[in-house]
Amino acid sequence: MTRHTERVNRALTVFLSTVERGGNALPHPATLFAILSGFVVILSALAARTGLEVTHPGTGELIQPVSLATVAGLHRILTEMVTNFTSFAPLGTVLVAMLGIGVMESSGLIGAALRLLVLSAPKRLLTFVLVLAGVLSNTASEIGYVLLVPLGGIIFLGTGRHPIAGLAAAFAGVSGGYSANLLLGTVDPLLAGLSEEAARIVDEGYRVNAAANYYFMVVSTFIIAGAGTWVTERVVIPRLGPYSPDQGADETGDQSTILGELSNKEKRGLVAALIALGVFTLLLLWGTVPSNGFLRNPDTGGLLRSPFLSGIVAFIFLGGVVVGVAYGAITGAFRNDADVMNGMGKTISTLGTYLVLVFFAAQFVAYFNWTNLGLIMAVEGAETLRNSGLGGIPLMLSFVVVSAIINLFMGSASAKWAIMAPVFVPMFMLLGYSPELTQTAYRIGDSTSNIVAPMMSYFALIVAFFERYDRKSGIGTVVATMLPYSIAFLVCWSVLLVLWMWLGLPVGPGSALTVSG
Nearest to 194 by CA among 429, 415, 433: 415
The CA-atom distances, in angstroms, between 16 and each of 19, 32, 52, 215, 305 are: 5, 22, 40, 34, 45
pLDDT band at 427 (very low <50, low <70, confident <90, very high): confident
Secondary structure element (H or E) that encloses residue 63, with its range: strand 62-63
Q: Which of 72, 74, 70 is nearest to 45 (CA)?
A: 70
Q: Is the pLDDT of residue 3 over 70?
A: no
Side-chain-side CA neighbours of 193 within 13 Å: the count stands at: 22
Q: How many CB atoms lie within 10 A of CB 289?
A: 11
Sign of the alpha-carbon torsion through 200, 203, 205, 210: negative
The three-state secondary structure class of 2 is coil
Q: Where are the domains of the chain?
A: 23-503
Cα 486 to its chain centre, rounded Å, is 16
What DSSP line would sit under 463-509, residue for residue? HHHHHHH-TT--HHHHHHHHHHHHHHHHHHHHHHHHHHHHHT--SBT
**Exposure letters 76-91 (e unless 16+ CB within 10 A, then b):** bbeeeeeebbeebbbb
Among the residue ranges 108-122, 187-201, 278-292, the one predicted with the least confidence is: 108-122
Q: Residues 231-243: what's their mean pLDDT?
A: 86
In which element (H, E) is residue 289 found? none
Alpha helices in 26-125 (DSSP H): 29-50, 71-79, 81-86, 89-107, 109-119
Please return the burial class of 109, using the count of CB atoms within 10 Å of its CB with bins 0-12, 13-18 and 19+. Answer: buried
φ, ψ (nearest 5 deg) of residue 379: -65, -45
- Please tell me which residue, 352 or 338, carries the higher pLDDT value: 338
Q: Please state, in angstroms and rounded to a whole number, the distance separating the CA atoms of residues 223 and 229.
A: 10
pLDDT in tens, 256-302: 344 567 888 999 999 999 999 999 999 999 998 888 889 888 887 77
Choose the weakest-confidence range: 189-203, 405-419, 497-511. Answer: 405-419
pLDDT (average), residues 193-212: 86
Q: Is the predicted pLDDT of residue 58 greater than 90, yes or no?
A: no
Q: 167 to each of 36, 428, 439, 462, how far by Cα in Å?
A: 38, 38, 29, 8
DSSP, res 234: I
- The Cα–Cα gap between 186 and 497 comes to 23
Residue with more model confidence, 315 or 351 = 315
